[in-house]
Structure 1
Amino acid sequence: MSEPSPARRPLKVLLATPRGFCAGVDRAIQIVERTIEKYGAPVYVRHEIVHNRHVVDRLKALGAIFVEELDECPTDRPVVFSAHGVPKSVPADARSRNMLYLDATCPLVSKVHVEAQRHYDAGMEIVLIGHAGHPEVVGTMGQLPEGAVTLIETVEDARAFTPKDATNVAFATQTTLSVDDTAAIVAALRERFPEISAPHKEDICYATTNRQEAVKSVAARSDVLLVLGSANSSNSVRLVEVAKREGVAQAHLIDDASFLDLAWIEGAQTVGVTAGASAPEVLVQGVIDALSAVFDVTVEEVDAVRETVSFKLPRVLVEG
């Protein structure tokens, strides 16, 4: 007769809400899917549609071909621009080549583009708070002539920035930044330039803010915190930073359950789990399943706020 298996030790999993896909990511993925449905494969996508390996791989399987630049696309196939936005030169180039293009830029990123243009038209000197080289920053700076926007990444940058006219400065921000870090940079700018023009409504998007607040709620009760997301996802990386700042030394960014190291869980009683705005919910379930295979898991959903935002698809994909 076989020995009974030893009882598995209990483990509490706190699920942060909201987590995973935001409205902009959901819209961008749908645009690629519907473009393939309407025009057939292949459909070209300039840059990863969103920064998540699983999403990109699934769309590749459906017939999407991902490229970095427009000149890698044939002119007789549709091309989709990623959710991060593109410089103005990209759609202009597509039009000059008579290409069919669909713009999946998140409407909240487009709002920042419009703001930057408005400040420029008003003759203001523009500061963009963001991360150098991130496609959203490249896209936003590319809305205006070269040299019109100064990128600021840190409080030190804000203190070193010297405008031509200190009374005529405006700022905008990347939508996926750390709320706390950005507040410190904005405070440094306001201290030096009290008249600086701010966005009408904060540029950091609702989804980034909500996910960071949800992590704070969960972190207070967690020994370990796992963030599902890819390493090139700005908002996912910020969630790990927020957790660590809240005192969770064992905060880890993982692509999926296969990257889970059970050594992290040794001695832990409570594990927080969340997902960046570009990570599908199936990845969260995969981690819960992996933990349930080893521990006696109970799951509690921790609500920070419920999201009801949705964005319309381009008319060409909705019309018959």
Structure 2
Amino acid sequence: MSKPDLTIHLAAPRGFCAGVDRAIKIVEMALDKWGAPVFVRHEIVHNKFVVDGLREKGAVFVEELDECPPDRPVIFSAHGVPKSVPAAAEAREMVYVDATCPLVSKVHIEAQRHADNGLQMVMIGHAGHPETIGTMGQLPEGEVLLVETVEDVATLDVRDPARLAYVTQTTLSVDDTADIVAALQERFPAIQGPHKEDICYATTNRQEAVKAMAPECDALLVVGAPNSSNSKRLVEVGARAGCAYAQLVQRAGDIDWRALDGIRSVGITAGASAPEVLVNEVIDAFRDRFDVTVKPVVTAEENVEFKVPRVLRMATA
């Protein structure tokens, strides 16, 4: 029996960004240098497949530093941590490696610079997300005010409207963030922004690829974890760009085939912490059911690479 035809629009760029690639490499190199177990505070990146793979190699994932023994190395996740965390590690004389994405560290430095200049900070981000917690934790309590929506801007209680600056989480929707920034600038005309956009290149590029292909697709599947901010934003961007059905899937086994009944085209992309092996798994699942033609949708080329910390480079020199 012949299979129905299906065009897969395959987004590029997709999947791992330089910050995720670096963070995973840091855990692997730490295991090579110090042996197992190596402790990791919070999931190194938001992807179960990646975390489970590192766990099998000897990484132990914990939520707080006090769950780590003082005589084993600990790694801080790519999302960044409050200043209190490395301070506590130093107080316990622990060996630690900071895997914070350099683009998140850039936001931390911005926040500190504005605070040093006497400005109160507004952070555009998601409450409870590790990156938001880490960035807000760079400054004393009360110095960073969180806004999640345009509506939040109207209720902001600031110390001095003339002495404000804003930063953003790096994995937000570009369009939603622009609306919030506009609301902040309208209410606080003197508010200062970053010299360069805080939303990272990888988030922006993946969203642009989805916008380019969404109108051509009957459905869009985003390979990524439910706790991955940038992956969830890709689903929202796809729906807003005109795709009637946009869904987040962790693996091929999560695909709702009944919802895809009768489709002629599907867009596939992956969040910045989803490995390519899972994308291939999803494509193979479609090949089992359809006569597939893969059409790449290339909107940008990425060649960014971040060095691992010096302590690990020395180990392999």
Tell me the TM-score range normalised by the shorter chain.
over 0.9
User: Map of 1:94-109 to 2, 5 A cutoff?
Assistant: 94-109=89-104
3-state secondary structure, aligned to 1:180: helix
User: Map of 1:111-260 to 2, 5 A cutoff?
Assistant: 111-260=106-255
Structure 1 match to 2:17: 22
Given that 1:178 and 1:242 are in contact with CA atoms closer than 8 Å, whether structure 2 keeps it comes out as yes
3-state secondary structure, aligned to 1:293: helix
3-state secondary structure, aligned to 1:41: coil
The AA in structure 2 aligned to 1:149 is V
Kindly indicate whether residue 294 of structure 2 is the aligned counterpart of residue 299 of structure 1. yes
Aligned residue pairs: how many? 315
Q: TM-score scaled to structure 1, two decimals?
A: 0.97
Cα deviation for residue 167 of structure 1 reads 1.2
Given that 1:228 and 1:255 are in contact with CA atoms closer than 8 Å, whether structure 2 keeps it comes out as yes
3-state secondary structure, aligned to 1:12: strand
Cα deviation for residue 246 of structure 1 reads 1.1
Distance of 2:26 and 2:280 partners within structure 1 = 25
Distance of 1:143 and 1:229 partners within structure 2 = 28
Cα deviation for residue 133 of structure 1 reads 0.5
Distance of 1:84 and 1:20 partners within structure 2 = 17
Distance of 2:182 and 2:142 partners within structure 1 = 24
3-state secondary structure, aligned to 2:26: helix
The AA in structure 2 aligned to 1:89 is S
Structure 2 match to 1:280: 275
Given that 1:224 and 1:264 are in contact with CA atoms closer than 8 Å, whether structure 2 keeps it comes out as no
Structure 1 segments of 4 or more deviating over 2 A?
Answer: none
Cα deviation for residue 193 of structure 1 reads 1.3
Distance of 1:121 and 1:279 partners within structure 2 = 37
3-state secondary structure, aligned to 2:273: coil
Alpha-carbon displacement from aligned partner over 1:238-297 (angstroms, at most 9, x marks no partner) = 000001111212100000001012112211111000000000000000011000011100
Distance of 1:125 and 1:141 partners within structure 2 = 12
Given that 1:176 and 1:234 are in contact with CA atoms closer than 8 Å, whether structure 2 keeps it comes out as yes
Structure 2 match to 1:88: 83
**Which of 3, 24, 39 is the equivalent residue of 1:8?**
3
Cα deviation for residue 153 of structure 1 reads 0.6
Alpha-carbon displacement from aligned partner over 1:37-84 (angstroms, at most 9, x marks no partner) = 111000000000000000000000000000000000011111000000
Distance of 1:62 and 1:164 partners within structure 2 = 49
Instruction: Give 5+ residue unaligned stretches, structure 1.
Output: 1-5
Q: TM-score scaled to structure 2, two decimals?
A: 0.98
Distance of 1:91 and 1:233 partners within structure 2 = 24
Alpha-carbon displacement from aligned partner over 1:15-44 (angstroms, at most 9, x marks no partner) = 001000000000000000000011100000
Instruction: Give 5+ residue unaligned stretches, structure 2.
Output: none
Distance of 1:318 and 1:162 partners within structure 2 = 46
Given that 1:47 and 1:69 are in contact with CA atoms closer than 8 Å, whether structure 2 keeps it comes out as yes
User: Map of 1:55-74 to 2, 5 A cutoff?
Assistant: 55-74=50-69
Distance of 1:287 and 1:211 partners within structure 2 = 18
Structure 2 match to 1:3: none
Distance of 2:212 and 2:154 partners within structure 1 = 32
Structure 1 match to 2:37: 42
Cα deviation for residue 195 of structure 1 reads 1.5
Cα deviation for residue 159 of structure 1 reads 1.8
The AA in structure 2 aligned to 1:254 is V
Alpha-carbon displacement from aligned partner over 1:118-148 (angstroms, at most 9, x marks no partner) = 1111000110000000000000010010111
Distance of 1:128 and 1:236 partners within structure 2 = 20
**Which of 289, 312, 315 is the equivalent residue of 1:317?**
312
Aligned CA RMSD, in angstroms, stands at 0.7
3-state secondary structure, aligned to 1:253: strand
